Amino acid sequence: MQKITAASNALIICLSLAACQPEAGNAQAQQRNFVCKALIEGFLSAQQLNRYELHQIQPAQQGAELYIYKAQPEHSASVMPQQRKLHFACQQASARKFQIQLSGPQQENAQALLSVELPEPAQLKALTAFSLNPQ
């Protein structure tokens, strides 16, 4: 009886997980979101702006997305950064090219921060240091 219950529970879990698999369009949006966040957070880290955390993602003009980062207060210091929120526009120009811009809330004075072109998938696979061994 316990084996049947365990097997049915495992089947229910597998079916639930299969139903939650992202669609192709959703997977592309997740990949774009991952790349944009990584580029923005890499920029913040390089500028030693570690007190900013992602607050909100909004759709923006021309297929770009607006990532709003908000300064988090520290308990040890009462000094806050000059800007409480930073607005980053991330645009995917092509399948492999991404551009990050720092902009104001009205996006009138956008400044390009960086533009990155990812390698071809075959190149990326060759550059990968580790691989999983199929068993």
Q: Is pLDDT at 24 greater than 70 in this prediction?
A: no
d(CA 88, CA 99): 10
d(CA 97, CA 109): 22
Q: Which of 28-42, 64-78, 88-102 has the lowest mean pLDDT?
A: 64-78
pLDDT band at 53 (very low <50, low <70, confident <90, very high): very high
Give the residues across from 89 on adjacent strands.
66, 101
Is the whole model's pTM more than 0.85, yes or no? no
Q: What is the pLDDT of residue 39?
A: 93
> 76-119 pLDDT, tens per residue?
555 555 788 999 999 988 888 999 998 875 556 677 888 888 88
